């Protein structure tokens, strides 16, 4: 009964969040602003054992440079890779003079590499790109217009998974598509709290003013943490509607697990580090609404997923148990009673929950549809099946990652960049 009540409250809160994001999404600007001038951009790529992907990333930046009217340089910071990443970049530089490489003798983490790159960067804007990400050629042209507004400190962009092959990659593909809807909604509501690693552009002077990225010993997710400090410095964060970056995702469940542990621990650490922003009117909608809601969401999603999954699996288990008896004994007098019970009140005891649940399912379908629309991706059969399976499998996995991250965070202090 208590869990029903908790589910009811969680459903109401999640419904509110869903509606808020939907309304936010519909109030967004559809196109990015046209740039008044083309700023010089230094693109920083921290590299650590990326020999398989770095050339493709550099090629993507080469075509981006061709499409960009302003000046552009690429600074690769090799974090003492153990593979041939450094030599590959050196060979690449030979034919492409716009790329420079800095070799570190010790791996001190991604944020250290970024900070090193910031020192070497020549231009007013600094774009951070992951070494396994591939921005679309016209990305910069779409993103740059936001910097004509002096209050914009950083601009981030949508992400799509590059050639997903395995099931685990397809699940992440769907997740990223959905997150593109969220990004547009967050942007309209001034609620962006992560400048995404695969491609984000920052004002160089803002990065210098706030002291660059923080060390992984302080936060495991530097891209999220810096967003809070940019906001605290009085700047806003925007997201491009038309730019896009393709990125590689974790190819195995094990690697996904550890990635999410890092991300989730990062979220917890960052929210605790910047708890002074929660319900603080100084930070506008972000402080008063977004931060409390995101904090609540972490708990509410756990309750919702736990409730739905246990109810669902319980019903499936009961059904097969009854079916087994029916087959084994030839007769099961209570089968009809069981079926009636299942449909009348077995799944959700309180009728309010049924109505709310139906609304939430529609909202969920709606936001996923908008995610596909926003990402300009097609919903094939494979994606549809995985999308329908995800609430019963991938979402519980995410809750599991959250719980593990929480336990690890409580019992273990520092973390290192993977």
Partner 1 sequence: MLNDGRKKVLYKALTFTFGILFFSVIIAVLMVNWQKTDLDKGYIDVINEAQEVKIFNQFYDTLTANSNSCELMENQLYGLASKVYDLGEKVNLYFEQNKDSDDAKELQKQHVYMNLELWLRLIKFNKTCDDNRNYLLYFYPYNCTECSPLVESINDYRKKLGDKLWVFSIPGQIDSKMVEILMLYFKADYLPSLVVNGNTIKGPEAFKDIEKYIK
Cα–Cα separations (whole angstroms), residue 199 to 99, 111, 136, 295? 17, 15, 10, 25
Question: Minimal distance in Å, beta carbon 320 to partner 1?
Answer: 14
The site string for partner 1 over 18-57 (x = CB under 8 A, - otherwise) reads: -xx--xx--x------------------------------
Given 55, 190, 208, 215, the residue binding partner 1 (CB under 8 A): 190
Q: Does 3 bind partner 1 (CB under 8 A)?
A: no
Question: Minimal distance in Å, beta carbon 339 to partner 1?
Answer: 11
**Six-digit token pair at 12?**
């109401």
Pairwise CA distance, residues 357 & 53, whole Å? 43
From 68, 83, 61, 43, select the one nearest 140 (Cα to Cα): 68
- Closer residue to partner 1 in complex, CB, 59/321: 321
Pairwise CA distance, residues 108 & 314, whole Å? 48
**Six-digit token pair at 116?**
């090193």
Positive/negative CA dihedral, 396, 131, 80, 105: negative
Pairwise CA distance, residues 363 & 358, whole Å? 9
Q: Which stretch binds partner 1 (CB under 8 A): 16-24, 118-126, 154-162, 197-205?
A: 16-24
Check if the beta carbon of residue 36 is closer than 8 Å to that of residue 81.
no
Q: Does 333 bind partner 1 (CB under 8 A)?
A: yes
Question: Minimal distance in Å, beta carbon 286 to partner 1?
Answer: 10
**Six-digit token pair at 248?**
């590689």
Q: Does 389 bind partner 1 (CB under 8 A)?
A: no
Residue with tokens 């999220």: 224
| CA geometry: angle 372, 389, 18, nearest 5 deg | 50
Q: Does 327 bind partner 1 (CB under 8 A)?
A: no
Q: Does 314 bind partner 1 (CB under 8 A)?
A: no
Question: Minimal distance in Å, beta carbon 314 to partner 1?
Answer: 14
Given 252, 334, 365, 403, the residue binding partner 1 (CB under 8 A): 334
Question: Minimal distance in Å, beta carbon 220 to partner 1?
Answer: 31
Pairwise CA distance, residues 272 & 221, whole Å? 13
Q: What DSSP state is assigned to residue 275?
A: G
How distant is the alpha carbon of residue 157 from its chain centre?
A: 11
Question: Minimal distance in Å, beta carbon 190 to partner 1?
Answer: 7
Question: Minimal distance in Å, beta carbon 20 to partner 1?
Answer: 4
Question: Minimal distance in Å, beta carbon 23 to partner 1?
Answer: 5
Q: Does 351 bind partner 1 (CB under 8 A)?
A: yes
Q: Residue 82 burial (CB < 10 Å; 0-12/13-18/19+)? A: exposed
- Closer residue to partner 1 in complex, CB, 21/246: 21
The site string for partner 1 over 269-298 (x = CB under 8 A, - otherwise) reads: ------------x--xx--xx---------
**Cβ contacts of 389 within 8 Å, gap of 6 or more:** none
Q: Which residues bind partner 1 (CB under 8 A)?
A: 12, 15-16, 19-20, 23-24, 27, 188-190, 281, 284-285, 288-289, 325, 329, 333-334, 336-338, 340-341, 344-345, 350-352, 354-356, 359
């Amino acid at each position: 009964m208590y869990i029903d009540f908790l589910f009811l409250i969680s459903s109401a809160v999640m419904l509110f969040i869903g509606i808020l994001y939907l309304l936010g999404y519909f109030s967004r600007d559809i196109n990015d602003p046209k740039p008044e001038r083309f700023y010089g951009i230094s693109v920083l790529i921290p590299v650590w054992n990326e020999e398989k992907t770095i050339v493709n990333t550099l090629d993507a930046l080469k075509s981006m440079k061709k499409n960009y009217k302003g000046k552009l340089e690429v600074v690769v910071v090799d974090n003492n890779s153990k593979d041939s990443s450094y030599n590959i970049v050196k060979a690449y530089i030979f034919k492409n003079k716009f790329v420079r490489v800095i070799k570190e003798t010790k791996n001190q983490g991604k944020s250290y590499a970024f900070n090193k790159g910031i020192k070497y960067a020549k231009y007013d804007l600094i774009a951070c790109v992951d070494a396994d990400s591939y921005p679309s050629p016209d990305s910069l042209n779409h993103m740059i217009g936001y910097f004509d507004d002096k209050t914009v400190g950083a601009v981030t962009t949508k992400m799509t998974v590059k050639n997903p092959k395995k099931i685990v990659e397809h699940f992440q593909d769907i997740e990223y598509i959905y997150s593109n809807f969220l990004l547009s909604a967050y942007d309209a509501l001034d609620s962006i709290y992560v400048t995404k690693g695969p491609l984000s552009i920052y004002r160089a002077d803002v990065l210098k003013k706030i002291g660059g990225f923080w060390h992984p010993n302080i936060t495991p997710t530097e891209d999220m943490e810096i967003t809070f400090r940019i906001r605290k410095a009085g700047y806003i964060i925007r997201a491009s509607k038309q730019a896009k970056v393709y990125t590689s995702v974790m190819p195995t469940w094990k690697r996904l697990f550890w990635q999410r542990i890092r991300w989730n621990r990062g979220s917890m650490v960052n929210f605790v580090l910047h708890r002074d922003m929660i319900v603080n009117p100084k930070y506008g909608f972000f402080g008063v609404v977004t931060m409390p809601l995101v904090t609540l969401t972490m708990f509410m999603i756990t309750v919702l997923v736990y409730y739905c999954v246990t109810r669902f699996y319980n019903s499936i288990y009961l059904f097969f148990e009854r079916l087994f008896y029916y087959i084994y004994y030839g007769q099961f007098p209570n089968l009809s009673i069981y079926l009636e019970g299942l449909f009348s009140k077995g799944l959700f005891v309180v009728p309010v929950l049924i109505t709310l649940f139906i609304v939430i399912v529609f909202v969920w379908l709606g936001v996923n549809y908008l995610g596909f629309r926003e990402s300009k991706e097609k919903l094939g059969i494979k994606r549809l099946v995985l999308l329908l399976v995800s609430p019963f499998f991938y979402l519980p996995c995410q809750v599991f990652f959250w719980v593990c991250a929480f336990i690890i965070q409580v019992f273990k202090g520092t973390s290192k960049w993977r």
